[in-house]
């Protein structure tokens, strides 16, 4: 491995030697290896200084950079450093015992193969001889076990779900990278860029969760309608409920509107041009 003195390192990165020593004092650069009275730096120091310069160009302060670096060196995930996905609460990892596993899966499903599959899918982590699960997974497992849903079905559906949520997460991160990340560069003269980045990511995460939950509910409603039709659980098309005859405006409007419409763009533009200062349709 190449060894550099502080002066040689300074030439490589275009910084004064005093700045490099200051970075060490601030905790953003790890100490060099010493041979006698001479300090030697290597490729890891070059990489770290490049990272520091890149973050500083984005407006990150040295204390913020030090926080990022120290958290990462301690094994913290990016989510934990940025304040998304690792807070206390339903995302906590908790250790489970053998008796907990028997409550997580239906009777007779407690098999090494099932537990190993859960580890492969990331539902379970094995640390120091103990399995650990997220609190939300523990709660969901208990509910599904109470319904006697076979573990193989649960794991197969979770694998499909994880593929879908990975795609959703990638879409939102792409929005962050394309639309929000440049804002940090445009405001590089502001302080607390790490806090601003955290705030943006937390807001985006909350919005993503809201959108996903709302969309999932709509999908479940439609899937339930399709299920009901397949099993002939719905009345015929000409059926009218008793409340339709009641003089309730909302009931009248529901009956009158009929099927949802799919307007063309000129229709939508006329609506936008008209504004809200007009009577409702049909009045």
Task: Give 105-160 as a DSSP string.
Answer: S-TT---HHHHHHHHHTTSEEEETTEEEEEHHHHHHHHHHHHTT--HHHHHHHHHH
| Residue 71 domain-assigned (yes or no) | no
Are the beta carbons of 13 and 51 closer than 8 angstroms?
Answer: no
pLDDT tens, 87-113?
545 557 888 887 777 666 665 666 788
For residues 203-207, average pLDDT: 83
pLDDT at 88: 46
| Residue 76 domain-assigned (yes or no) | no
Are 127 and 239 found together in one domain?
Answer: yes
pLDDT > 70: what percent of the chain?
Answer: 78
For residue 36, is pLDDT > 70?
A: yes
For residue 279, is pLDDT > 70?
A: no
| Residue 21 domain-assigned (yes or no) | yes
DSSP 51-94: HHHHHHHTT--HHHHHHHHHHHHTT--HHHHHTSS-SSSTT-EE
Domain that holds residue 38: 6-57
For residues 268-276, average pLDDT: 80
List CB contacts of 33: < 8 A, sequence separation 6 or more: 3, 39, 40, 41, 42
More confident residue, 252 or 196: 196
pLDDT tens, 42-90?
999 999 999 888 888 877 888 888 888 888 787 766 667 766 655 545 5
pLDDT at 103: 66
pLDDT at 246: 58
Compute the mean pLDDT over every residue in the chain, rounded to the nearest whole number.
80
pLDDT at 174: 92
Are 118 and 205 found together in one domain?
Answer: yes
Count of domains observed in the chain = 2
pLDDT at 257: 54
pLDDT > 90: what percent of the chain?
Answer: 18
Cα 52 from Cα 55, distance rounded (Å): 5
Are 42 and 116 found together in one domain?
Answer: no
| Residue 14 domain-assigned (yes or no) | yes
Are 195 and 101 found together in one domain?
Answer: yes
pLDDT tens, 232-261?
777 766 666 665 565 555 555 555 555 667
For residues 162-189, average pLDDT: 85
List the CATH number of the domain containing 52.
1.10.1660.10
């Amino acid at each position: 491995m190449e060894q550099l003195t502080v002066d040689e390192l300074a030439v490589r990165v275009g910084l004064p030697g005093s700045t490099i020593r200051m970075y060490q004092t601030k905790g953003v650069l790890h100490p060099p290896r010493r041979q006698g009275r001479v300090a030697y730096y290597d490729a890891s120091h070059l990489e770290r200084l490049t990272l520091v310069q890149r973050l500083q160009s984005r407006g990150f302060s040295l204390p913020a950079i030090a926080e990022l670096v120290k958290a990462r060196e301690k094994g913290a995930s990016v989510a934990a450093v940025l304040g998304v996905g690792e807070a206390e609460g339903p995302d906590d990892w908790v250790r489970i015992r053998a008796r907990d596993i028997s409550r997580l899966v239906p009777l007779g499903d407690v098999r090494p193969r099932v537990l190993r599959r859960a580890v492969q899918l990331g539902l379970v982590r094995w640390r120091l001889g103990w399995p650990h699960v997220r609190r939300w997974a523990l709660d969901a497992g208990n509910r599904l076990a109470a319904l006697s849903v076979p573990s193989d079905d649960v794991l197969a559906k979770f694998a499909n779900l994880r593929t879908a949520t990975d795609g959703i997460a990638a879409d939102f991160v792409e929005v962050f990278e394309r639309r929000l990340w440049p804002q940090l560069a445009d405001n590089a003269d502001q302080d607390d860029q790490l806090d601003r980045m955290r705030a943006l990511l937390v807001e985006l995460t909350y919005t993503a969760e809201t959108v996903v939950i709302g969309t999932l509910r709509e999908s479940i409603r439609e899937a339930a309608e399709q299920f009901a039709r397949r099993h002939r659980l719905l009345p015929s098309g000409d059926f009218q409920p008793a409340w339709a005859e009641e003089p309730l405006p909302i009931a009248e409007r529901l009956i009158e509107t009929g099927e949802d419409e799919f307007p063309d763009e000129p229709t939508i533009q006329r609506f936008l041009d008209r504004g809200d200062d007009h009577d409702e349709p049909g009045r």
